[in-house]
């Protein structure tokens, strides 16, 4: 079949809207009509050329929602008409990682997914004889896409596509980092670095978990109002701090008889390795946990004095908020439908596929929280 898609033809070039060929689903695969897709900073990261796994030409996009329109042989858990969210972290429930119960990082199809291919080692997308690569196993910047059954979450058919697409990455990553990875407890003190599409969801996750002090840190003053909207209690712009931001934040979080500062939990939602270090070092001596969410470019490394870890700070990372997609994503959709979490105000811009590059411009200018393309 033919489908309209925004194709990343080369690193650093705007996406090109074109008609591409899409092969139907093979065994264990489903064809999805994507109804809406968010634009995540990770799409921009890969398009920029900073992703070591970046491969071109590819159809980016990994934050979608849509409807199953065809199923391949052997598919048992999905049928035509099901409303679904594609998962860049699948859940096969059979691989050693899924069975370990220690991680959400299913390994069933990770190798081929990283090569921009379906599990059988081929691509379903092409233009004539020229192959186009899949991206993060999702390629939601195409109106129709094919995914393995294990990488698809079936969700409430009443839920609006243009909002729940955000659960395909940003919402689940932010809220999940708090609930699944950090396991934040009521009364906690937390610092969130970077108040974009991920950081604001960390903030609403912290509110849900009952954190008392939620400090937001961003170089863009416009984010103060945004953070407060979702539960942030204090805002710091590092550009307005005289000197090093770490002692400033440690001082802000001083409490107890010994007056040792530092947050119980800190989160990097910037992808900047210097900020990751600040986040680790702003965590409380003895027990503070710092969660790396941001994705850093090829060749970049994090560093700190080992003494920071010797004295009890814990450095952790999280992918997709530690969520097991087929199990947890439908629950998060239900939380949204029940009003337990907010999504609507974070979707600041709705675009057509033809306008998709405007979504990247808005992100660069710091003017959007989430842009969503509606097909």
| Residues with a known catalytic role | 40-42, 62-63, 92, 95, 98, 106, 110, 169, 370
In the list 42, 89, 139, 201, the residue contacting Zn ion (rule: CB under 5 A) is: 42
**Of 133, 166, 320, 360, the one binding ligand AHE by CB under 6 A:** 320
Does position 135 bind ligand NAD by CB under 6 A? Answer: no
| Residue 44 structure tokens | 């921009």
Exactly one of 41, 207, 313, 324 binds ligand NAD (CB under 6 A); that residue is 41
Q: Which of 40, 68, 184, 347 binds Zn ion (CB under 5 A)?
A: 40
Contact 116, 137 (CB under 8 A): no
Q: Which of 319, 332, 333, 343 binds ligand NAD (CB under 6 A)?
A: 319
Query: Which of positions 27-56 make contact with ligand AHE (CB under 6 A)?
Result: 40, 42, 51-53
Which of 73-81, 227-235, 287-295, 303-311 is the region at the interface with ligand NAD (rule: CB under 6 A)? 287-295
Which region, judged by CB under 6 A, interacts with ligand NAD, from 48-56, 116-124, 149-157, 316-324?
316-324
The smaller minimum CB distance to Zn ion, of residues 3 and 42, is found at 42
- What would the 3-class secondary structure string for the chain be? CEEEEEEECCCCCCCEEEEEEECCCCCCEEEEEEEEEECCHHHHHHHHCCCCCCCCCECCCCCEEEEEEEECCCCCCCCCCCEEEECCCCCCCCCHHHHHCCCCCCCCCHHHHHCCCCCCCCCCEEECCEEEECCCCCCCCECEEEEEHHHEEECCCCCCHHHHHHHHCHHHHHHHHHHHHHCCCCCCEEEEECCCCCHHHHHHHHHHHCCCEEEEECCCCCHHHHHHHCCCCEEECHHHCCCCHHHHHHHHCCECCCCECCECEEEECCCCHHHHHHHHHCECCCCCEEEECCCCCCCCCCCCCHHHHHCCCEEEECCHHHCCHHHHHHHHHHHHHCCCCCCHHHEEEEECHHHHHHHHHHHHCCCCCEEEEEC
Fill in the per-residue mask, 118 to 157: x = in contact with ligand AHE (CB under 6 A), - = not in contact: ----------------------------------------
CB of 40 to Zn ion, least distance (A): 3
Distance CA 39, CA 354 (A): 14
For the bound state, the minimum distance from the C-beta of residue 255 to ligand AHE, rounded and expressed in Å, comes to 34
Per rule CB under 5 A, is residue 318 in the interface with Zn ion?
A: no
Partner whose footprint covers residue 189, from ligand AHE, ligand NAD, Zn ion, none (CB < 5 to 8 Å by kind): none
CB atoms within 10 A of CB 252: 18
Determine which residue in the list 54, 90, 194, 322 makes contact with ligand NAD, applying CB under 6 A: 194
CB 330 within 8 A of CB 83: no
Name the residue with the smallest CB distance to ligand AHE: 42
Task: Assess 269 for contact with ligand NAD (CB under 6 A).
Answer: yes
- Using CB under 5 A as the binding criterion, the count of chain residues that bind Zn ion stands at 3
By the rule CB under 6 A, 62 interacts with ligand NAD: no
First and final C-alpha spacing in the chain: 17
Q: Does 35 bind ligand NAD (CB under 6 A)?
A: no
Does residue 279 touch ligand AHE according to CB under 6 A? no
Binding site for ligand AHE (CB under 6 A): 40, 42, 51-53, 89, 105, 110, 169, 295, 319-320
Binding site for ligand NAD (CB under 6 A): 40-42, 45, 169, 173, 193-199, 217-220, 223, 238, 269-272, 275, 293-295, 318-320, 363, 366
């Amino acid at each position: 079949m033919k489908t309209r898609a925004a194709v990343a033809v080369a690193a650093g070039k705007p996406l090109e809207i074109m008609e591409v060929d899409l092969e139907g689903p093979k065994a264990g695969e489903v064809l999805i009509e994507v109804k809406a897709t968010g634009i995540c900073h990770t799409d921009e990261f890969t398009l920029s050329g900073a992703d070591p796994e970046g491969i071109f030409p590819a159809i980016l996009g990994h934050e979608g929602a849509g409807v199953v329109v065809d199923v391949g042989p052997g598919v048992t858990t999905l049928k035509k008409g099901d409303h679904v969210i594609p998962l860049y972290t699948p859940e096969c429930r059979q691989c050693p990682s899924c069975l370990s119960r220690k991680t959400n990082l299913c390994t069933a199809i990770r190798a081929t997914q990283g090569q921009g291919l379906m599990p059988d080692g081929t691509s379903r997308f092409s233009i004539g004889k020229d192959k186009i690569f899949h991206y993060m196993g999702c390629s939601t910047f195409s109106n129709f896409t094919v995914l393995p059954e294990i990488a698809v979450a079936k969700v409430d058919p009443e839920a609006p596509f243009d909002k729940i697409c955000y659960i395909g990455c940003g919402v689940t990553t932010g809220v999940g980092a708090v609930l699944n990875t950090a396991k934040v407890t009521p009364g906690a003190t937390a610092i969130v670095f970077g108040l974009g599409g991920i950081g604001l969801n960390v903030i609403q996750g912290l509110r849900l978990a009952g954190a008392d002090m939620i400090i937001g840190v961003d170089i863009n003053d416009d984010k103060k109002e945004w953070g407060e909207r979702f539960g942030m209690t204090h805002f710091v712009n590092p550009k307005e701090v005289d000197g090093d931001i770490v002692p400033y934040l440690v001082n802000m979080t001083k409490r107890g008889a010994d007056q040792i500062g530092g947050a119980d939990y800190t989160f990097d939602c910037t992808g900047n390795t210097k900020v990751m270090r600040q986040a680790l070092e702003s965590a409380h001596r003895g027990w503070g946990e710092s969660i790396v969410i941001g994705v850093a470019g090829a060749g970049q490394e994090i560093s700190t004095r080992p003494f920071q870890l010797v004295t009890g700070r814990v450095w952790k990372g999280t992918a997709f908020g530690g969520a097991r997609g087929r199990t947890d994503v439908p629950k998060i959709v239900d939380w949204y439908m029940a009003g337990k979490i907010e999504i609507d105000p974070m979707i600041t811009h709705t675009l057509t596929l033809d306008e998709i590059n405007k979504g990247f411009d808005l992100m660069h200018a710091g003017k959007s929280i989430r842009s969503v393309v509606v097909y």
